[in-house]
Structure 1
């Protein structure tokens, strides 16, 4: 029963739950807490999937007549019967496969993303003009200006991070609007939002297509942009940021970068004229995130961990 319960929880957390949460609009008023909630759901889904496999494995090594676990998996065929034993083995193998896919996905996403960023950073260092940036009364390096007439702005996260803007951006925007767009990109770099996206990308790739949902990845992308928008509002105000976002809406970032514009620009601009963030919603989201991790652990993990402990100390 523990294995079945874990499997059902995992299926819910990678399918219906992300789909429902992605349609919620309240998350836009508590972006940081909503990201924590999304992270809790992803972590709970992974832990539930692994727990289901481990619970199945424990049934393959049930205690024998002497109270000790059986020595081999195949010795339980007679006790369980071929159909049930085969099902247990297949579920356990699927769990191991998901674990292997998750490890491979993390490595693939990390390596591929960093290669793309390193290549593009080399290009912008060659063709872009280095320039000092001033953002929120701070002056720093790492800004590259491209001779492109279309307004665009994006950042390349990493150890050698870069903020890239076009000549069209500097020409079309007022000084406070430039400050807003630079604050937006610097917020991405300072908070390492790219690492959050990498985690969700890896989890999305690890689960089989018939159970996973793209809702989590898309929702987190939007929430991360909202966090950067909030930082820009604190630096320059909502109106300059809204104008800068509209100007850079058609700008597209290369793979691995994080652009200020994009398909969510209209939604984000509307939010800037809304009610603002809510402390009540944020606290509710934090409590929900804690419940997603704690409740399954207490209700499901503790009982079967106790049984597993008994099995190996018998």
Structure 2
């Protein structure tokens, strides 16, 4: 029953729960807390999957009369019966497969993303027309890692990592006022400081690890939107909602290369609309409480039985 409970909880946390949360409107009023809730749900789903596997393994290796785990397959088949034994072995194998896919996918996504960023960073550094540490003391384009490209299309994005870059084009500089350009750069710097790319990478790996028929397709898009909303809040703190809204409209039809985070994009309208609605502290508090509950309950459910068993073994 423990394995079944954890298995059902895992299926809920990778399917229906993310689907419902992605359709909710309140996360845009508390983006930081909503991202924390998304992360808690993702981590709880992984913990639940492994907890189901551990419960099945414990059932297959139930201690014998002498207190040591049973290692005889024939004895376990006689005790459980063929149908239940095959079901338990299949469920344990599926759990191990999900865990292996999660590890492999996380490594693969990280390696590929960093390789693409490194290649694009080299191209940007070779073609950039702005390479001076300081252009003008009172000008927004003053950071060492800012690069300006001779491109007429208005575009602004960042490349996270140790050798970070913020890329703007001539089209963006010409179309935006200084305040609007300052808002765009503040948006990109917020991405770099908070390392939103790592949060997004984790959800890409999680989405690839679970089978398509059980996972939600909306989780990644919802987290990406919340990351943009968080960066928008930082830009608003340095400028104003109106300034940022004008800047977002100017770069709304821009897109970023793979592995980069752009100021514009398909979510621009939703992000501009939320600028008129203030963030809610109560909503954030409830979201943090929900995140703690979602994460703590499966953790305690996993830890307590094993701690009790460890105490029994050490006490014996």
- Aligned partners of 1:307, 1:74: CA distance in 2, in Å? 29
Residues 1:244 and 1:255: Cα distance change in structure 2 (over 3 Å): same
Partner of 1:47: 47
Q: State the distance in 2 between where 1:236 and 1:51 align.
A: 47
Deviation by residue 1:43-64 (Cα, 9 ceiling, x = unmatched):
0000000000010000011122
CA deviation profile, 1:33-90 (whole Å, cap 9, x unmatched): 0000000000000000000001000001112233322124443111111111111111
The DSSP-based 3-state class of the residue aligned with 1:144 is strand
Contact 1:61/1:73 (8 A) holds in 2: no
Shift in Å, 1:100: 0.4
**TM superposition shift of 1:130:** 2.5
How far apart, in 1, do the equivalents of 2:308 and 2:62 lie? Answer: 10
Of 149, 154, 158, the match for 2:157: 154
SS at match of 1:261: coil
Q: Paired residue for 1:226, among 221, 229, 236?
A: 229
Residues 137-195 of structure 1, C-alpha deviations (whole Å, 9 max, x = no match):
89421111111111110000000000001100000011100000000001101111111
* 3-state secondary structure, aligned to 1:67: coil
2:302 alignment partner in structure 1: 301
Is 1:182 aligned to residue 185 of structure 2? yes
Deviations 1:79-134 (A, max 9, x none): 11111111111111111101100000110000000000000001011111224477
Q: Secondary structure at the match of 2:143?
A: strand
Structure 2 unaligned blocks of 5 or more: none
Structure-2 separation of matches of 1:9 and 1:311: 28
For residues 157-306 of structure 1, what are the structure 2 equivalents within 5 Å? 157-274=160-277, 276-298=278-300, 300-302=301-303, 304-305=305-306
Q: Secondary structure at the match of 1:179?
A: helix
Say if 2:33 is the partner of 1:33: yes
- Counterpart CA distance in 2 for 1:258 and 1:72 is 54
User: Where in structure 2 are the equivalents of 1:3-22 lying within 5 Å?
Assistant: 3-22=3-22
SS of alignment partner, residue 89 of structure 2: helix
Alpha-carbon contact 2:156-2:169 (below 8 Å) kept: yes
Contact map agreement 1:135 1:179 (CA 8 A) in 2:
no
Q: What is the CA RMSD across the aligned residues, in angstroms? A: 1.9
How much has 1:295 moved relative to structure 2?
2.4
TM-score (norm 1): 0.94
User: Contact 1:63/1:311 (CA < 8 Å) preserved in 2?
Assistant: no
Deviation at 1:301, TM superposition (A): 2.5
Post-superposition CA distance 1:227-278 (Å, at most 9, x none): 000000011111111011001011110001001011100011111122x111
Q: Note the alpha carbon deviations across 1:201-227, whole angstroms, 9 max, x for none.
A: 111111111111122111110000000
Structure 1 residues 258, 24: CA separation in 2 closer, same or farther (over 3 Å shift)?
same
TM-score computed with the length of structure 2 as normaliser? 0.94
1:76 corresponds to: 76
The farther-off stretch of 136-145 and 15-24 is 136-145
Which residue number corresponds to residue 95 of structure 1?
Answer: 95
Q: Aligned to 1:17, what secondary structure does the other structure show?
A: helix
The verdict on how the C-alpha distance between 1:69 and 1:136 changes in structure 2, with shifts beyond 3 A counting, is farther
Q: Tell me the CA shift for residue 306 of structure 1.
A: 5.5
